Structure 1
Amino acid sequence: MRPLLLPVLALSLLAGCGGNRDDIRNRPLAANPSAFVAAEIGFARLAQEKGQWTAFRETSHPDAVMFVPQRVKARDWLKTQADPAEAVRWQPHAVYVSCDGNSGATTGAWQKGPAHGFFSTVWMRDPRSGKINWILDHGDAVTAAREAPEFIESKQAACGSRPTVPIEAGAEGDDMAVGLSPDQTLSWTSTVRPDQSRRVTIRLWDGKTMATVIDDQVAARKQP
């Protein structure tokens, strides 16, 4: 796997916003994709320095959820977890950011010993303090490692008119939840089925539709 070649500070910042220039609602609040990449890299570094679950605890949003494989409130579950001797390592490959810059999603690859896999993380930024915490995190092992890109992909939601948020309903027995950025230009849907298989879908407003940018599917765990 190639190392990431692009430093965080070299990411292009996406600026500007369409629509009426006098409409303050159409202006992003310093949208900065590199800030979410920096948060993810800092999260990964903290796991190596202080321990895997310590890093998860210290960077989590109060409403954060994770999957073990059922959905759990992260802070409650993490209270009982001891850090493993070897923390997983991970690197972001892409970042997607809401128009107003207060929500973002990162996705990439992880490694631990001979195992490797993928992850996706949703982040929320406090517009007053600028602090960024993760609010959803999930991932899974894969048989073929994801190759690191030469450059981290970066995309910001379109600004201007706001999208109509679609109504979604899960199948009978599904545990489904939908999250939205405050400006409704980034959404995340997570579904855990009765067999503990899972799907996490991230969508970004492109000016016409909520386009899918991440669509992760995790198979059911085999019963012993």
Structure 2
Amino acid sequence: MLALLLLAAGPETSAVDAENAFRRAAQAEGQWTAFRKFATQEAIVFLPQPEKAQQALPTLDPPVAVQWWAAESFVACDGTTAVNTGPWVRSKAKGYFTTVWHRREAGWKWSLDHGDDLATPRARPAKVAMRKASCEPITEPVATPVAMLGSKSGDGQSPDGTLLWHWEVSAEGARSFDAWIWDGITFVSVVSDKVAAPT
């Protein structure tokens, strides 16, 4: 049954395909229009505090949309959840992004998007590095990270538990995002983003 639902979900067969479709929609339809179109109803962005994307994002699209490309994609064993990360560019600005994706009956949707500026841009990859979690049974307990006192935080995982993530934001707006993937023996850190508080 799940296989039939996934086949009916749409042309994007992977989170990388979804990322590419998202980027193309931003260029064709408008940046914030595309962000809302591809977001879940519960999706969050950081401004710098966590906000519901559907309500918090601007309604007016900028004249030129940001461009971005997945460089790495970390996928749960069951294929329903992924974390993509890679470079973005906009006029004279550049940086990186990290996005959490979920495959739903209606197609891929993102639930968390964040990133930061960089002084030196990351290279656009010739080919996306994809890493899938092991499907071996999970044998170690998963410890829930404890957020710093006074911070806002959240945790998530794929339905099969093979892809985990945690984010937190301090009162000053400093932010971290971490993701781990099950390799058949232990959970391995695959993304560790740290964003300084705004000045």
Scaled by the length of structure 2, the TM-score of the pair is: 0.90
Of Structure 1 and Structure 2, which has the larger fraction of its residues in strand? 2
Distance between the aligned counterparts of 1:62 and 1:165, measured in 2? 27
Counterpart for residue 184 of structure 1: 161
Runs of 4+ in 1 over 6 A off after TM superposition: none
Are 1:90 and 2:68 matched, yes or no? yes
SS of residue paired to 1:92:
coil
- The AA in structure 2 aligned to 1:106 is N
CA shift, 1:82, in A, is 1.3
Counterpart for residue 116 of structure 2: 140
Counterpart for residue 192 of structure 2: 215
After superposition, give the CA deviation of every residue in 1:168-203 in whole Å (9 maximum; x if it has no partner): 111111111101111111111111111101111111
Counterpart for residue 134 of structure 2: 158
Number of residues of Structure 1 aligned to a counterpart in Structure 2: 189
**Does structure 2 conserve the Cα–Cα contact (< 8 Å) formed by 1:96 and 1:157?**
yes
CA shift, 1:74, in A, is 1.2
Distance between the aligned counterparts of 2:170 and 2:13, measured in 1? 34
CA shift, 1:164, in A, is 2.4
Counterpart for residue 59 of structure 1: 38
Gaps of 5+ in 2: 1-5
Report % sequence identity: 38
Gaps of 5+ in 1: 1-28
SS of residue paired to 2:178:
strand
Scaled by the length of structure 1, the TM-score of the pair is: 0.80
RMSD: 1.7
Counterpart for residue 53 of structure 2: 74
Structure 1 pair 81–130 and aligned structure 2 pair: CA distance change class (3 A): closer
Distance between the aligned counterparts of 1:135 and 1:52, measured in 2? 17
**Does structure 2 conserve the Cα–Cα contact (< 8 Å) formed by 1:165 and 1:184?**
no
CA shift, 1:122, in A, is 0.4
SS of residue paired to 2:61:
coil
After superposition, give the CA deviation of every residue in 1:75-115 in whole Å (9 maximum; x if it has no partner): 1213x531111111111101010010000011110000011
Structure 1 pair 51–71 and aligned structure 2 pair: CA distance change class (3 A): same
Q: Which has the larger radius of gyration?
A: 1
